[in-house]
């Protein structure tokens, strides 16, 4: 390899010597080095483009044998992010760096430093581009693997890396162009460190949030979330370093700071959607004045309701046995009694247990809540076996339509506040 480079240098030196002499003759006195640099850069660019094209062709031809992204996800990620092009650029540039001294050898003292710095600057820019493309390659890889939590973390990290990379490569570029030490530039930035931290406050918070969300796996793009603080409910469409976009169910788009994920209450309802269940937690308020003990006539009438007939038969026989040993057993208040609200609560429990649209493997419960000025709340707590919004609302409405009307059979009054004018 070294012998080939030496032969190439000798060939280029012999080939460009006549051109060097011709430019020296026609150029104005004192400005010949300017034309030497211009022509030399033109020749080097031409050689670079030819070599870059050849390297790209060879590398891309090899990558064609690994098209199956399921079998070769890493190679496909590298190819799709065009890292192979950066490798071709580096290969061509390294070759240019090894031969540029052989072109116009006589003008070496005047042109070598400038050309070397140009090549080094180009190498810095190509390496920077390759690192950014590497971030894209990681994103392609996690997309193939469908690891959305890592994609989200990578989005936050890549934005931070890009910002820091611009700063770092800018410093390196200045050092290469002017030939100064990097410590000189970095040292001069110590005085404005506080200002930089203040300027990049949101960036730093966004980076920390991205790492936190990715490691905790609480959120990802596509999740259905609710943010009570902003009255937002919808699907996450994009999580970047600084902002997060949420498409609301009314087709509007909300944008919030990403770092709010660390400090704001967020309800992630994606698990509910993926399990295909959705919770019903809703109450009916009953007028307490309509509550009463059930008489024998009421019990006989309610026994015709299939869901509670066995229950009433069992409970009445138990109560009769208990009352036989009581003094003043004819007094209704003595001993246990059946009430219309209690029997209705049991009926509502049996009703949701027999509803085919209610999930049988989840909690199914009808319970009393704390009494309020509006009456006694009787809460239905269960889960539907369909999380689709439209279907959920239909199931919930059907349950409460039935219970509201069925309550009349138990002589219960649903509480309604009437306003007198």
Is residue 404 over pLDDT 60?
A: yes
Tens-place pLDDT, residues 113-152: 777 777 778 888 888 888 877 777 777 677 666 665 566 6
Identify whether the C-beta of residue 409 lies closer than 8 Å to the C-beta of residue 302.
Answer: yes
Mean pLDDT to the nearest integer, 334-353: 90
> 25: Cβ–Cβ under 8 A, 6 or more apart, which residues?
none
Which neighbouring-strand residues pair with 246?
Answer: 236, 254
Residue 87: its pLDDT value, please? 81
Give one DSSP letter per residue of 183-227, joined into a string.
HHHHHHTGGGHHHHHHHTHHHHHHHHHHHHHHHHT---TT-EEEE
Banded pLDDT at 401 (limits 50, 70, 90): very high
Mean pLDDT to the nearest integer, 204-209: 66
Tens-place pLDDT, residues 220-239: 777 888 888 888 888 888 87
CATH number of 206-272: 2.30.30.60
- Give the separation between CA 53 and CA 50, rounded to whole angstroms: 5
Chain CA centroid to CA 371, Å: 43
Residue 147: its pLDDT value, please? 60
- Give the separation between CA 213 and CA 67, rounded to whole angstroms: 33
Q: In this predicted model, which residue has the larger pLDDT, 367 or 137?
A: 367
> 152: Cβ–Cβ under 8 A, 6 or more apart, which residues?
210, 213, 214, 219, 220, 221, 239
Mean pLDDT to the nearest integer, 344-356: 94
In this structure, what token pair is assigned to residue 14? Answer: 């012999």
Residue 46: its pLDDT value, please? 82
Instruction: Give the phi and the psi of residue 281 in degrees, each rounded to 5.
Output: -145, 90
In this structure, what token pair is assigned to residue 145? Answer: 């693997």
Residue 421: its pLDDT value, please? 38
Instruction: Give the phi and the psi of residue 169 in degrees, each rounded to 5.
Output: -70, -25
Q: How far is CA 92 from CA 62, 101, 351, 404, in A?
A: 18, 15, 77, 80
Is residue 109 over pLDDT 70?
A: no
Is residue 359 over pLDDT 60?
A: yes
pTM value?
A: 0.48
Domains in the chain: boundaries? 2-146, 206-272, 278-410
Mean per-residue pLDDT over the chain, rounded:
76
- Give the separation between CA 358 and CA 277, rounded to whole angstroms: 9
In this structure, what token pair is assigned to residue 375? Answer: 């009456």
> 63: Cβ–Cβ under 8 A, 6 or more apart, which residues?
75, 78, 79, 84
Mean pLDDT to the nearest integer, 397-418: 88
Banded pLDDT at 83 (limits 50, 70, 90): confident
Is residue 214 over pLDDT 70?
A: no
Chain CA centroid to CA 229, Å: 20
Tens-place pLDDT, residues 27-73: 556 556 566 677 777 777 888 888 888 888 887 778 777 766 667 77
> 383: Cβ–Cβ under 8 A, 6 or more apart, which residues?
277, 278, 279, 280, 358, 359, 362, 363, 364
Residue 420: its pLDDT value, please? 44
Is residue 16 over pLDDT 60?
A: no
Tens-place pLDDT, residues 271-328: 666 667 888 999 999 999 999 998 889 999 999 999 999 999 999 888 888 777 777 6
Is residue 204 over pLDDT 70?
A: no
Residue 186: its pLDDT value, please? 58
Q: In this predicted model, which residue has the larger pLDDT, 318 or 12?
A: 318
Tally: H helices and E strands in the chain: 14, 8
Mean pLDDT to the nearest integer, 380-401: 90
For the chain, give the number of residues. 421
Angle between the 148-178 and 201-216 helix axes, to the nearest 10 degrees?
Answer: 140
Is residue 108 over pLDDT 80?
A: no
Helix (H/G/I), strand (E/B), else coil: 287? coil
Is residue 23 over pLDDT 70?
A: no
Give one DSSP letter per residue of 95-134, joined into a string.
HHHHHGGGTTGGGHHHHHHHHHHHHHHHHHHHHHHHHHHH
Say which range, 152-161, 239-248, 401-410, has the weakest mean pLDDT.
152-161
Banded pLDDT at 396 (limits 50, 70, 90): very high
Banded pLDDT at 419 (limits 50, 70, 90): very low
Banded pLDDT at 368 (limits 50, 70, 90): very high
């Amino acid at each position: 390899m070294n012998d080939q480079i030496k032969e190439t240098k000798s060939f280029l030196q012999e080939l460009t010597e006549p051109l060097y002499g011709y430019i020296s003759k026609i150029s104005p006195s004192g400005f010949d080095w300017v034309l030497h640099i211009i022509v030399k850069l033109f020749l080097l660019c031409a050689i670079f483009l030819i070599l870059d094209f050849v390297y790209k062709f060879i590398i891309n031809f090899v990558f064609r044998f690994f098209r199956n992204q399921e079998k070769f996800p890493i190679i496909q990620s590298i190819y799709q992010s065009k890292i192979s092009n950066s490798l071709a650029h580096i290969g061509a540039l390294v070759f240019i760096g090894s031969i540029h001294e052989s072109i116009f050898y006589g003008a070496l003292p005047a042109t070598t430093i400038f050309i070397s710095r140009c090549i080094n600057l180009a190498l810095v820019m190509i390496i920077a581009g390759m690192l950014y493309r590497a971030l894209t390659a990681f994103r392609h890889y996690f997309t193939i693997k469908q690891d959305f939590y890592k994609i989200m973390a990578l989005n936050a990290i890549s934005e931070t890396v890009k910002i820091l990379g611009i700063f770092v490569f800018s410093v390196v570029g200045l050092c290469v162009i002017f030939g100064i030490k990097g410590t000189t530039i970095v040292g001069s930035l110590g005085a404005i460190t506080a200002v930089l931290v203040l300027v990049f406050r949101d960036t730093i918070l966004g980076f920390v949030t991205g790492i936190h969300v990715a490691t905790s796996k609480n959120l990802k793009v596509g999740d259905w979330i609710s943010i009570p603080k902003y009255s937002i409910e919808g699907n996450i469409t994009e999580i970047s370093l600084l902002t997060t976009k949420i498409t609301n169910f009314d087709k509007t788009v909300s944008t919030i700071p990403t770092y709010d994920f660390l400090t704001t209450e967020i309800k992630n309802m994606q698990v509910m959607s993926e399990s295909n269940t959705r919770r019903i937690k809703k109450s009916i308020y009953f007028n307490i004045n309509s509550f009463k003990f059930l008489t024998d006539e009421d019990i006989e009438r309610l026994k015709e309701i299939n869901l509670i007939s066995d229950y009433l038969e069992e409970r009445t026989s138990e109560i009769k046995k208990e009352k036989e040993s009581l003094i003043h057993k004819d007094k209704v208040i003595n001993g246990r009694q059946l009430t219309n609200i209690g029997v209705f609560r049991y009926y509502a429990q049996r009703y949701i247990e027999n509803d085919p649209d209610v999930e049988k493997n989840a909690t199914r419960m009808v319970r009393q809540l704390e009494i309020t000025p509006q009456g006694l709340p009787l809460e239905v707590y269960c889960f539907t076996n369909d999380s689709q919004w439209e279907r959920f609302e239909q199931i919930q409405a059907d349950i409460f339509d039935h219970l509201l009307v069925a309550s009349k059979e138990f002589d219960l009054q649903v509480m309604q506040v009437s306003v007198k004018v």
